[in-house]
Structure 1
Amino acid sequence: MKILSPEFSAHIASGATTLCWCWRIERRDGTVLGFTDHDNSVTFEGTTYEAAAGFTASDITDGLGLSVDNLEVTGALSSATLTDDDLAAGRYDEARIAIYRVNWADASQRVLMRSGSIGEVRRTGASFTAELRGLAHYLQQPTGRLLQRTCDADLGDRRCGVDLSSSAFRGEGTIVTAISARRFKVAGIDTFESRFFSRGLFAFTSGASAGLKIEVKSHTKLRAAVEIELWRDAEGAPAIGDAFIVTAGCDKRFETCKARFANTVNFRGFPSIPGNQFLTQIGRASR
């Protein structure tokens, strides 16, 4: 049930309304953006909701019980703050969103209709469609610890304890040859063994993608050549001489934790847990 102020209720009951939709988006990096389907910008609570031509939303779908409520927003990539590069880089993944119904003639008259997060984003040419998931979506996500053989901590976090700023787990270098937007030959990390940085984090420190961080898919060392492949394309075209910092990766296995990081005291898995093979063994009588 939505509770409206007396002034807003009277405005709606008047039969001649000046209503619009406003969307407030807060990305995980702290950036806050506002958009509205009105033809002029609307401002309230310190956020300016930019008038976005062609920015429309589907009907809000409500479900009974704990089913997920959702809707879709469709728009054009015409705003200076809503770019194709940001969508491709995943900067809007799991962004928090609040949807308001507002009297654009008096923005103090408004009501919060829905809150949740951005789910799947589909792009077609210069337009996009974003799925907005309700708060019930989080009830479907697994929480707590799982009993599994591999570690459930993130390398370098508080539970893991490995210091990734140490030179033993961190390398700096430059791109020598850009094979593609995600694969290149590099110099400066020749002393590290092959696959040491696989599953690690690659951060551009100069060039068109400066500041961008992408997970490493593979790190191979063949004779004098060292090659890095990322899981996705860099935002800008990598060029010869672009500098980077890359940190070690971890496959979450107990053996890796022991041999590479000497950190078994903080291992957060259960390496001795019986597997499916143990459960399906047939008992045999001893002689």
Structure 2
Amino acid sequence: MKTASPALTALINSGKFERADVYTIALKGGLTLRYADHDQPLTFGAETWTLGPLLKRSRTELSVGIEVDEMEVTFTPTDFSLINGKPFAAFVSGGGFSGARLTVQRAYTPPGWGDVVGLVHVFSGRVSDAGLGGGTVRVVVRSDAELLDAMVPANVYQPGCLNGLYDDACGISRAAHQAAASVTGAQAPSRSFFSTSLPQAAGHFSMGTLTFTSGPNAGVSRTVKQHLAGGALRMIAPLPITPGAGDAFTIAPGCDGTRATCGGRYFNLNRFRGTPLIPVAETIT
């Protein structure tokens, strides 16, 4: 059931109103984007939805029961559509919408686009897919019922640890193991391979996560495929833009889920949730 304030109810019942959709995108890093599907900014309370990329969304269908609802939103960026100083499409292609939450509301005003009287919730969910094509950015948003699509039972017997590194079950502090460094000019960099000032031994940051804090890739994160001798890093997926000498980043080591890494690197065996001594499956013929 959708709810509305008495003032909004009275406006809608009068039959004389204007309406437009407003989009709120909460990014994983803490930044919140607000765009209005209109030709002027809209304000309600302390929040303002500005003019951004052109927006178009699919129709929504809400079902009774446990069913995953879905909405597709298409963004057509303009030359002025920037996020953290980067073009909208480049930010999205660099994983900027990964883990984001999008909420669509409908704003109602008196005729002539006066002050917004109220908002009605239309849809909210998690961004599950984002792709580029034909000058547009297509984002698929799925309702929270998707979180129920989990394996039952949740725990299985396997050699590797069931925890995710740095999650609540693991208990390891990312900040305690994170390092800060920068790209160096020791060799010509590419979008997936570059030298750094990291002093740690080769392999320390393999399968870890790197996030740029300055330069053209600021805010972009990538998984490290290899940490080589001398501090060189190879990414699993290429960066949007080739980094330059002096570009700063933070990096945290990864974990292969083995008992040896849990105890030898993180001293966290009391939280290890793997079963490395489980017997190997045998087939009787």
**Structure 2 counterpart SS, 1:237:** coil
| Contact map agreement 1:178 1:239 (CA 8 A) in 2 | no
1:110 match: 119
d(CA) in 2 for partners of 1:102 and 1:157? 38
- The residue type equivalent to 1:218 in the other structure is Q
1:43 match: 43
For each residue in 1:37-64, what CA deviation from the matched residue of structure 2 results, as whole angstroms up to 9, or x when unmatched?
2221111132211234631211112345
1:192 to 194, 198, 201: 201
CA 16–215 in structure 1, closer or farther in 2 if over 3 Å, else same: same
Larger radius of gyration: 1
1:125 deviates by 4.3
1:184 deviates by 1.9
- The runs of 5 or more residues in structure 1 that have no matched partner are 283-287
d(CA) in 2 for partners of 1:164 and 1:80? 30
For each residue in 1:87-146, what CA deviation from the matched residue of structure 2 results, as whole angstroms up to 9, or x when unmatched?
123222232222212213342233112222222112124321211212222222458544
CA 206–113 in structure 1, closer or farther in 2 if over 3 Å, else same: closer
CA 14–172 in structure 1, closer or farther in 2 if over 3 Å, else same: closer
d(CA) in 2 for partners of 1:40 and 1:244? 37
- The residue type equivalent to 1:42 in the other structure is L
CA 100–182 in structure 1, closer or farther in 2 if over 3 Å, else same: same
1:31 match: 31
| Contact map agreement 1:23 1:99 (CA 8 A) in 2 | yes
2:8 match: 8
| Contact map agreement 1:177 1:239 (CA 8 A) in 2 | no
d(CA) in 2 for partners of 1:211 and 1:21? 28
* 1:1-287 correspondence runs (5 A): 1-52=1-52, 54-78=54-78, 79-81=81-83, 83-105=88-110, 106-142=115-151, 144-156=154-166, 159-160=169-170, 172=181, 174-175=183-184, 176-186=186-196, 188-189=198-199, 192-193=201-202, 195-204=203-212, 206-210=214-218, 212-221=220-229, 227-275=232-280, 277-278=281-282, 280-281=283-284
d(CA) in 2 for partners of 1:60 and 1:251? 41
1:285 match: none
For each residue in 1:195-229, what CA deviation from the matched residue of structure 2 results, as whole angstroms up to 9, or x when unmatched?
332111234455433564422112234xxx65421
**Structure 2 counterpart SS, 1:55:** strand
CA 103–226 in structure 1, closer or farther in 2 if over 3 Å, else same: closer
1:273 deviates by 2.8
d(CA) in 1 for partners of 2:99 and 2:44? 24
**Structure 2 counterpart SS, 1:209:** coil
**Structure 1 counterpart SS, 2:226:** strand
Q: CA RMSD in A?
A: 3.2
Mean Cα deviation higher: 225-234 or 130-139: 225-234
1:26 deviates by 1.4
Could you tell me the TM-score, scaled by structure 1's length? Answer: 0.79
For each residue in 1:147-196, what CA deviation from the matched residue of structure 2 results, as whole angstroms up to 9, or x when unmatched?
332113343555445566678x858564322442111244543x614x33
Identical-residue share of aligned pairs (%): 28
CA 270–99 in structure 1, closer or farther in 2 if over 3 Å, else same: same
d(CA) in 2 for partners of 1:162 and 1:230? 24
| Contact map agreement 2:42 2:116 (CA 8 A) in 1 | yes
Mean Cα deviation higher: 60-69 or 19-28: 60-69
Could you tell me the TM-score, scaled by structure 2's length? Answer: 0.79
- The residue type equivalent to 1:198 in the other structure is S
- The residue type equivalent to 2:49 in the other structure is Y
| Contact map agreement 1:62 1:70 (CA 8 A) in 2 | no
